[in-house]
A and B are shown apart, each in its own frame.
Chain A
Amino acid sequence: QSALTQAASVSGSPGQSITISCTGTSSDVGGYKYVSWYQQHPGKAPKLIIYEVNNRPSGVPDRFSGSKSGNTASLTISGLQAEDEADYYCSSYTTSSTVVFGGGTRLAVL
């Protein structure tokens, strides 16, 4: 299985909105609603911020939102804050009952 495709980096200014895309295939992203997103700060474990494409776990700010169209899922962060600077990973369940991650996107808040 191949990793999902994410841009290596993205940047934005405080208060702005950014979108991170995650492209897979019909065997993963396009085939299921089981797309999730994770935020990882340096030296820390990843944290779930979006599950089932567009649902936020309790405690995750509503500035974080997710969507999907075809084989591409997206994470949007609105009202960027300095604390949002981190690495972001998408993940999808697959038709083989396995899991695949994206390569990760580093967000810089300038």
Chain B
Amino acid sequence: QVQLQESGPGLVKPSQTLSLTCTVSGGSISSNDYFWSWIRQPPGKGLEWIGYIYYRGTTFYNPSLKSRVTISVDTSKNQLSLKLSSVTAADTAVFYCARMSTVTLDFDIWGRGTLVTVSS
């Protein structure tokens, strides 16, 4: 069974770059059937889609975050990564990675999420 696990620093200083990794186990990130996504949720608030990537490198980003976001994949490690630059306190959130079907375009498997706090 495919599982996703987010990892990375839980605390980032303002103006710095947030970096997270999602490790995919039980399946290949190089599958033709899936995109791989990042989604975040500020404390007490709703879900916000950040972006998704196909294993060959094609990416799509939320227009509101596009200038600060980079999503990449490392097929050799079966991992996807997220970089969010110039962070502020408003970027404090639980960050989830999720698998997105290329056929039904839904998020069918989610990681447990990791809380990242932006604070000095």
Contact = CB atoms under 8 A, between A and B. Distances in A.
Interface in A49-70: 51-52, 55, 57
Contact of B107 (A1, A38, A98): A38
Interface string B103-120: 011111011110000000
B75 to A, nearest CB: 22
Interface residues of B, number: 24
B49 A99 contact: yes
B48 interface: yes
B60 A97 contact: yes
A1 B46 contact: no
B46 A103 contact: yes
A55 B108 CA distance: 12
A36 B47 contact: no
A52 B47 contact: no
Nearest to B66: A98
Contacts of B110: 45-47
A55 to B, nearest CB: 8
